[in-house]
Structure 1
Amino acid sequence: MWANGKIQHVDALSGAPGTAGTTYLLAGSDARGGDGIAEDGTEGARTDTIMVLHKPSSGPAALISLPRDTFVDVPGKGPAKLNAAYSWGGAPLLVQTVEGLTGLTVDHYVEIGLGGVSNVVNAVGGVELCLDYDVNDPNSGLVWAAGCHETDGTTALAFARMRYADPKGDIGRGERQRQVVGAVSQKAVDASLLVKPGDQVALIGAGLGAIEVDEKTGIIDLGRLALAFRAANGPDGITGTPPISNPDYRPGGVGSTVQLDPDLSPAFWADIRDGKLPPGVVGGLPQS
């Protein structure tokens, strides 16, 4: 009851007929100019992180990152980058756009204020993250020596946001974002938390303080989301991106975008919905 009372709600769901399984849309909203977030030249409200988490009726759970520059048709607006949907119409338009792209009805929407990520990482005592090359990126504020390091919240946030110094761009950023949330998830299920009520309260407070959810989602739904997220990141889960045909697609008028494979994507989303894909990593950059 205490946790439910702390949840912040936002109108988000489209009311479209449900599809099989349970689908969560996770969006990382980038509040500019505060909470330790460095500027990267993007104007207005944006979603740096967009993930679809799907728990089918049977089969493996899947966590699929949608590059924010994915070329889509935004309802009522026309062709654009995916994160423009949030800028134009907030959570409701982003939900409608993702539903049109994937064919999945969003059952639960969770918006994460990226500035709050640092508080969550600090609440679990930091996390170990790995990256196999050096980084000195003024846009995100990340300074990194190749290898694995214990990180605090500020560094973990920069790690999750860095894009310009990543040779894989948005695709690499999606991989690092999943790594951060996976590392937090592992720390959060540490059995020692059961005998540390103060740490439990700090973690729940930091987590709920960083998110907004749709009008129908409560603490039990968030618990189920956490279990699905853990399953997707485990050995029997699916992570990755949809099939990508061109990471530098330039259709005119919207700059460089990420083009999903028009031939493979429909079957990909149907298999995600029905739990038919085998566990493992999917999608990524097209192989030359």
Structure 2
Amino acid sequence: MSFRGHDDGRSRAQRGWQRGGRREHQATRMMPLPGGGNRPAGRARSSQATARQPHRPPVKPRPARRKRSRMPRVLGALAAVFLLLLAAAWIYVDLSLDRTEAITDYEGRPAAAAGTNWLIVGSDSREGLDAEDRARLATGDDGGEVADTIMLAHIPDNDTKPTLMSVPRDLRVDIPGHGSGRANAAYSLGGPTALVRSVEQLTQLRIDHYVEIGFAGFESIVDAMGGVEMTIESDMHDTRTGRTVEAGERKLSGEEALHFVRMRYSDATPRSDLDRISNQREFLGALASQAASPGTLLNPFRAVPLMHAGPQALTVDDSDRLHHLVRLAWAMRGISDGGVVTTTIPVATAAAAELDHARAERMFEALRTDQPVPEDLVFE
């Protein structure tokens, strides 16, 4: 009995403890609310703790960093390299130009006037040509260098069109120290200096720049450009040399171009030298237009050979620089589309040996003052 009573007592005590603990636990957890009802004590403490903490705005997540593109830096580096190469090429060409003393001061030299004047000379120099080349190009024997082509290019300071004026090779001029003679003989007698002075005295126009090219240089420049595109109106056969330039839309090679600009004994050139110099101006316009085109300047397979051939082919005055040549080429590119007035010095005879002084003076005065050349003086 005692054993069972002992167990019962323990059970009642245990049950009492459990009931009391449960009531105490409930009393601890349940707290009265101000408006009635109870709230769990744990939540009350949590709310009080939250109320005591300062308000903090929610933290926004940082956006993911975008990877910076390397393309602008790559393009910038490529542009810098391109500019350095361009500058190096420019300096190379400028320093490689063959220079000579062509323009000098002397007593009685014409005063500087409006615009800029170039003397463009194509000599019949055979320098750089062996016997096989001379036969191929039909240059004939070397009987002394003469100016095969003489042109005066006037670039105005205003919006007047540039003018390209040919000087017939047989025109009689005063040659310093040698009296009267043909214009092309001035070169053989006194070199570029005598030719410049003869043209200045003839026209009373001061020559500011000088450029010359020989047979070999002419062929190399044309070939470096991959040929020059032209439209030949009719077949041209030279009875002296036996060479023929076929009609049609053609891309003339250096050899063909040389035959074209020198031809004067053919049915296509009845005026002989006058027709020849007209063809020379036409070809110069096509050459300048193609040389200054993006297809040449931006094509390394054209630009690089041209930069190599140009300095070896051209001779300029001591004072001339590459940017002068670029400006000349840019001005002359308009020959093919009428942007340049092309003409010949007015002559009095069909043989182009005597100057028409009255008409010639009107033309020279227009050039000295940057005025348009009168239309009645434009002579092909």
Normalization by structure 2: what TM-score? 0.67
* CA apart distance, 1:194: 4.5
- Tell whether the 8 Å contact from 1:161 to 1:173 is kept in structure 2 after alignment: yes
Taking the TM superposition and a 5 Å limit, the aligned residue runs for 1:269-288 are: 269-277=364-372, 282-284=377-379
* CA apart distance, 1:280: 7.1
Residue matched to 1:43: 143
- Deviates most, 274-283 or 59-68: 274-283
**2:115 maps to 1:14:** no
**2:296 maps to 1:185:** no
Structure 2, unaligned stretches of length 5 or more?
A: 1-90
Alignment RMSD, CA only? 2.3
Query: Which one of the candidate residues 337, 354, 358 is aligned to 1:263?
Result: 358
CA distance 1:41–1:194, change in 2 (3 Å): closer
**2:124 maps to 1:30:** yes
CA distance 1:141–1:229, change in 2 (3 Å): farther
- Tell whether the 8 Å contact from 2:123 to 2:146 is kept in structure 1 after alignment: yes
Q: Distance in 1 between matches of 2:288 and 2:179?
A: 37
Q: Distance in 2 between matches of 1:280 and 1:131?
A: 26
Letter in 2 for 1:23: N
**2:274 maps to 1:174:** no
- Deviates most, 63-72 or 145-154: 145-154
**2:313 maps to 1:218:** no
Q: Distance in 2 between matches of 1:39 and 1:138?
A: 14
Q: Distance in 1 between matches of 2:182 and 2:370?
A: 28
Residue matched to 1:110: 211
Q: Distance in 2 between matches of 1:190 and 1:152?
A: 18
SS in 2 for 1:101: helix
Query: Which one of the candidate residues 194, 202, 209 is aligned to 1:93?
Result: 194
SS in 2 for 1:226: helix
Residue matched to 1:53: 153
Q: Distance in 1 between matches of 2:155 and 2:330?
A: 10
1:196-254: CA deviations, max 9, x gaps?
23421211222221110001001111111112222455423211101121023xxxxxx
Q: Distance in 2 between matches of 1:110 and 1:194?
A: 21
* CA apart distance, 1:150: 2.4
- Tell whether the 8 Å contact from 1:62 to 1:237 is kept in structure 2 after alignment: yes
Q: Distance in 2 between matches of 1:2 and 1:172?
A: 38
* CA apart distance, 1:172: 0.8
* CA apart distance, 1:75: 2.1
Q: Distance in 2 between matches of 1:207 and 1:116?
A: 8
Q: Displaced runs of 4+ in structure 1, greater than 6 A? A: none
Residue matched to 1:200: 303
Structure 1, unaligned stretches of length 5 or more?
A: 249-256
1:132-166: CA deviations, max 9, x gaps?
33332254553133443222111011101112222
Residue matched to 1:84: 185
Residue matched to 1:254: none
Taking the TM superposition and a 5 Å limit, the aligned residue runs for 1:221-236 are: 221-231=324-334, 234-236=337-339
* CA apart distance, 1:114: 2.5
CA distance 1:113–1:50, change in 2 (3 Å): same
| Identical counterparts, % of pairs | 36
How many residues in Structure 1 have an aligned counterpart in Structure 2? 277
Q: Distance in 1 between matches of 2:193 and 2:272?
A: 27
Which one has the bigger helix percentage?
A: 2
Normalization by structure 1: what TM-score? 0.87
Query: Which one of the candidate residues 246, 249, 258 is aligned to 1:148?
Result: 249
CA distance 1:145–1:21, change in 2 (3 Å): same
* CA apart distance, 1:20: 2.1
* CA apart distance, 1:42: 7.9
- Tell whether the 8 Å contact from 2:102 to 2:317 is kept in structure 1 after alignment: yes
Letter in 1 for 2:144: G
CA distance 1:169–1:89, change in 2 (3 Å): same
